[in-house]
């Protein structure tokens, strides 16, 4: 196979099944060869490749390899495998397949000039598309067959783009035009010079969605790699420090980020959702200030509700793969995590927060909202008690596990644990219903303000978390002769430094350090 | 075998009808289900006294019939609620109904609540 056979995790629909397709040759896995497995992956996605999306991905720069080292090793790795061309020709080669070769020259020229920055930026996005590009030389035929039956319209789209604009120009305008979600559709529209029928449009949209999802998964995986790498270097540093100074440093590192692929994917999608949230909120803000008509405002509010529905849907998917990630709140910021209830916010508390901010309300609305608060409170209590019951039952099962039938009890316990997903789902269901009911009770304008308030509230809560995490911590180090106030975040380092600075009279349990 | 199941189904349907018509609120659940506990707490909190029938793990025909009542429900926990002899649904429906202020009128209609 001409492919480099690099695998990536979390890039198929079902995380676990993807692992068997992997072939980690390089530390920074980027590409995946087309093998039957990945072909089936593509089939699973039931979409072709949205080249419009791909090109937009070039400049989106939503994802960057965070350090140059990574880029360097990517090139080194690429070169080492003797296929630098695959990286560089990614873009020129792939449209080529649908067009005649004459284009190749101009494309490769263009590509080579900015291949450096582009490739590295683009690689993470390329999972659905890269198999095609990598197969530039060899499985051309296979790809063609593979692609053509799937994405005739992309081919046309691409041809349109390529033929109507000079490549650079086309790329740039495409990319500039498709910076945000709402503009993506515009981008697609501007590329196709001819009118596409609704089915094609729908397919394009589906392709875009699939490409988006794949990008997210790719981001998630690379993010995981990045985190692991950082953690590794942190550990190495600490180890070095410890060995050179003979000090035992334990537990100082950030908690191991051994998150499952399902959790990583969800984290990525959640951060994308947060960005969307910002956008929705600014839309709401401008809409309210501009005093739009109720009809227009209704559209925006409905859009925001759909946005919330989306996160609940995502959480539902995540609950199936990693319920603990949700329920322990590892996807939220620390301040949110502290007040977490069953993997999210507590609807009754949200309403309590809102009641003061929604004036003026009619009496009927007030009654409705108070009744909503009460209902959600009752439902929350019921679910909490159900969860307690589950916990009790689990405790009983594990406690009575003896030597003889331990396995049986553990199996029972496993079964009980699987009920957690149901609870998180019901809690999310409750949250979703509460928001919908709020929407029903309030007028359009009130609802717009209400959602703005909610969004801003959680934004502030998240900001609070960051502020808390980055606050300067003052420590009072007392030794025999002096009190020193040291400011800093690395407690261990501070301790070491202080020991070094302390006078000779200090009691030293640790060896003297320079 | 198919015929047997169908006839059982028919019999069970009648049984279910009989059982649900006797009491205002009837809940069918599996005895290991914790969600059932949650629903029971909810009902009791509202002042309703539901009649709960729990079927154990071995009673597959009952489970099969109850699941079929819920349609293509994806939830793993088996919980079916009847109010006033009519099917309300699984826990999803109960929660939705409760939040949307539909549950209380429904229960009142069934005679489970008086206030």
| A181: phi then psi, degrees, rounded to nearest 5 | -55, -50
- Angle made by CA atoms A83, A85, A88, in degrees to the nearest 5: 130
Tell me if B80 is assigned to some domain.
Answer: yes
Tokens 């507590």 — which residue? A346
- Residue of B34, B46, B99 with shortest CB distance to A386: B34
| A290: phi then psi, degrees, rounded to nearest 5 | -80, -5
Name the interface residues of A facing B (CB cutoff 8 Å). Answer: 368, 371-372, 375-376, 378-379, 381-383, 385-387, 389-390, 393, 415-416, 418-419, 421-423, 425-426, 429-430, 433-434, 437
Tell me if B69 is assigned to some domain.
Answer: yes
Residues of chain A positioned with their CB less than 8 A from the CB of B91: 426
The rounded Cα A139 to chain-centroid distance in angstroms is 32
- Pairing of the two strands A483-487 and B51-55: unpaired
What residue ranges of chain A have pLDDT lower than 70? 1-194, 245-259, 474-514
Q: What is the DSSP letter of A341?
A: B
Residues of chain A positioned with their CB less than 8 A from the CB of B45: 378, 381-382
User: What residues form DSSP beta bridges with A486?
Assistant: A475
- Mutating which of A375, A388, A424, A428 best tests the B interface, going by the most B Cβ atoms within 10 A? A375
Q: What is the pLDDT of residue A135?
A: 45
- Mutating which of B29, B30, B32, B41 best tests the A interface, going by the most A Cβ atoms within 10 A? B41
Which pairs with CB-CB distance under 8 Å and at least 24 residues apart come from B5-12?
A: B5/B61, B5/B64, B8/B61, B8/B65, B9/B61, B9/B64, B9/B65, B9/B68, B12/B61, B12/B62, B12/B65
Residues of chain A positioned with their CB less than 8 A from the CB of B99: 372, 375-376, 379, 430, 433-434, 437
| A331: phi then psi, degrees, rounded to nearest 5 | -85, -10
- Tell me the shortest Cα–Cα distance from A358 to chain B, in angstroms: 20
* CA atoms of B35 and A418, how far apart (whole Å): 12
Q: Which of A353-367, A438-452, B5-19, B26-40 has the lowest mean pLDDT?
A: B5-19
B76: domain CATH number is 3.40.30.10
Task: Quote the pTM value.
Answer: 0.56
Tell me if B58 is assigned to some domain.
Answer: yes
How many CB atoms sit inside 10 A of residue A65's CB?
Answer: 20
Above 60 in pLDDT, residue B57?
Answer: yes
- Residue of A371, A419, A421 with shortest CB distance to B101: A371
Return the beta strands (E) in chain B as ranges. 25-30, 51-55, 79-83, 86-89
Q: What is the pLDDT of residue A160?
A: 53
Please choose, from the candidates A234, A226, A266, the residue with its C-alpha nearest in 3D space to the C-alpha of residue A10: A266
Nearest chain B residue (CA) to A379? B42
Decide if A131 contacts A72 (C-beta within 8 A): no
The rounded Cα A99 to chain-centroid distance in angstroms is 35
Helices (H), A400-486: 406-417, 419-441, 444-469
Helices (H), B23-59: 34-46
* CA atoms of A347 and A320, how far apart (whole Å): 22
- Tell me the shortest Cα–Cα distance from B98 to chain A, in angstroms: 6
How do the domains of chain A map onto residue ranges?
A: 268-469
Residues of chain B positioned with their CB less than 8 A from the CB of A419: 33-35, 76-77
* CA atoms of A156 and A148, how far apart (whole Å): 11
Which pairs with CB-CB distance under 8 Å and at least 24 residues apart come from A90-94?
A: A90/A119, A90/A122, A90/A126, A90/A130, A90/A133, A90/A134, A91/A118, A91/A122, A91/A133, A93/A133, A93/A136, A94/A51, A94/A129, A94/A132, A94/A133, A94/A136
- B45, A389: Cβ pair inside 8 Å? no
Tell me if B6 is assigned to some domain.
Answer: yes
Residue B40 belongs to what domain range?
1-110
pLDDT class for B106, splitting at 50, 70, 90? Answer: confident
* CA atoms of A292 and B84, how far apart (whole Å): 47
| DSSP character string of A401-417 | --TTTHHHHHHHHHHHH
Burial (Cβ within 10 Å: 0-12, 13-18, ≥19) of residue A369: buried
- Tell me the shortest Cα–Cα distance from B92 to chain A, in angstroms: 7
Tell me if B115 is assigned to some domain.
Answer: no
Residues of chain A positioned with their CB less than 8 A from the CB of B46: 378
Burial profile B40-69: b = 16 or more Cβ within 10 angstroms, e = fewer: bbbbeebebebebbebeeeeeebbebbeeb
Tell me if B8 is assigned to some domain.
Answer: yes
Nearest chain B residue (CA) to A423? B35
Domain count, chain B: 1
- Residue of A372, A382, A430 with shortest CB distance to B39: A382
User: What residues form DSSP beta bridges with B55?
Assistant: B30
- Mutating which of A348, A379, A384 best tests the B interface, going by the most B Cβ atoms within 10 A? A379
Q: What is the DSSP letter of A196?
A: P
Tell me if B43 is assigned to some domain.
Answer: yes
User: What residues form DSSP beta bridges with A341?
Assistant: A344
Tell me if B22 is assigned to some domain.
Answer: yes
| DSSP character string of A108-142 | HHHHHHHHHHHHHHHGGGGTTTHHHHHTTSSTHHH
Residues of chain A positioned with their CB less than 8 A from the CB of B32: 393, 415-416
Please give the interface size between A and B, counted as residue pairs whose CB atoms are below 8 Å apart. 79
């Amino acid at each position: 196979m001409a492919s480099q056979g690099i695998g990536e995790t979390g890039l198929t629909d079902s995380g676990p099944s993807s692992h068997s397709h992997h072939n980690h040759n390089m530390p920074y896995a980027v590409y995946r060869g087309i093998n039957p497995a990945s072909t089936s992956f593509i089939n699973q996605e039931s979409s072709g490749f949205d080249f419009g999306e791909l090109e937009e991905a070039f400049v989106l720069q939503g994802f960057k390899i965070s350090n140059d080292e990574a880029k360097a090793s990517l090139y080194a790795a690429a070169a080492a495998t003797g296929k630098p061309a695959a990286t560089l020709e990614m873009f020129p080669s792939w449209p080529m397949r649908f067009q005649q070769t004459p284009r190749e020259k101009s494309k490769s020229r263009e590509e080579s000039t900015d291949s450096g920055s582009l490739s590295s930026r683009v690689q993470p996005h390329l999972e659905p598309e890269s198999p095609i590009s990598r197969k530039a030389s060899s499985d051309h035929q296979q790809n063609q067959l593979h692609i053509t039956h799937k994405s005739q319209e992309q081919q046309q789209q691409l041809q349109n783009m390529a033929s109507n604009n000079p490549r650079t120009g086309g790329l740039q305008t495409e990319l500039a035009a498709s910076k945000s979600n709402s503009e993506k559709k515009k981008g697609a529209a501007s590329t196709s010079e001819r009118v596409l029928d609704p089915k094609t449009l729908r397919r394009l949209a589906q392709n875009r969605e699939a490409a988006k999802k794949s990008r997210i998964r790719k981001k998630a995986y690379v993010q995981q790699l990045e985190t692991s790498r950082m953690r590794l270097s942190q550990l190495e540093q600490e180890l070095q420090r410890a060995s050179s100074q003979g000090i035992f440093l334990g537990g100082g590192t950030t908690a191991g980020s051994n998150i499952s692929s399902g959790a990583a994917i969800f984290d990525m999608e959640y951060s994308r959702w947060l960005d969307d949230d910002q956008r929705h909120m600014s839309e709401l803000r401008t809409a309210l200030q501009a005093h739009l008509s109720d009809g227009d405002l209704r559209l925006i509010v409905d859009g925001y509700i759909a946005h919330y529905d989306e996160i609940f849907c995502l959480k539902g998917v995540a609950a199936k793969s990693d319920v603990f990630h949700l329920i322990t709140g590892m996807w939220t910021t620390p301040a949110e995590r502290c007040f977490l209830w069953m993997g999210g916010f507590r609807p009754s508390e949200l309403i309590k927060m809102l009641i003061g901010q929604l004036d003026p309300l009619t009496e009927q609305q007030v009654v409705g909202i108070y009744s909503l608060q009460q209902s959600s409170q009752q439902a929350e209590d019921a679910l909490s008690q159900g969860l307690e019951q589950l916990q009790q039952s689990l405790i009983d099962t594990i406690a009575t596990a003896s030597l003889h039938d331990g396995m049986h009890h553990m199996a029972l316990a496993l079964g009980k644990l699987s009920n957690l997903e149901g609870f998180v789902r019901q809690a999310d269901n409750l949250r979703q219903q509460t928001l919908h009911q709020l929407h029903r009770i309030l007028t359009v304008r009130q609802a717009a303000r209400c959602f703005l308030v909610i969004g801003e509230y959680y934004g502030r809560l998240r900001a609070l978390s960051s502020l808390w995490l980055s606050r300067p911590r003052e420590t009072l180090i007392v030794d025999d002769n002096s009190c020193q106030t040291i400011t800093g975040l690395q407690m261990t380092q501070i301790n070491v430094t202080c020991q070094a600075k302390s006078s000779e009279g200090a009691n030293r349990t640790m060896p003297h350090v320079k | 075998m198919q015929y047997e199941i169908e006839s059982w189904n028919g019999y069970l349907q009648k049984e279910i009808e009989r059982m649900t018509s006797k009491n205002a609120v009837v809940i069918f659940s599996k005895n290991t289900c914790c969600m059932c506990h949650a629903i029971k707490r909810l009902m009791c909190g509202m002042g309703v006294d539901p009649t709960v029938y729990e079927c154990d793990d071995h009673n597959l025909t009952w489970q099969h019939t109850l699941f079929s009542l819920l349609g293509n429900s994806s939830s793993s926990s088996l919980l079916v609620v009847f109010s006033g002899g009519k099917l309300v649904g699984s826990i999803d429906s109960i929660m939705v109904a409760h939040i949307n202020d539909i549950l209380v009128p429904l229960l009142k209609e069934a005679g489970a609540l008086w206030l």
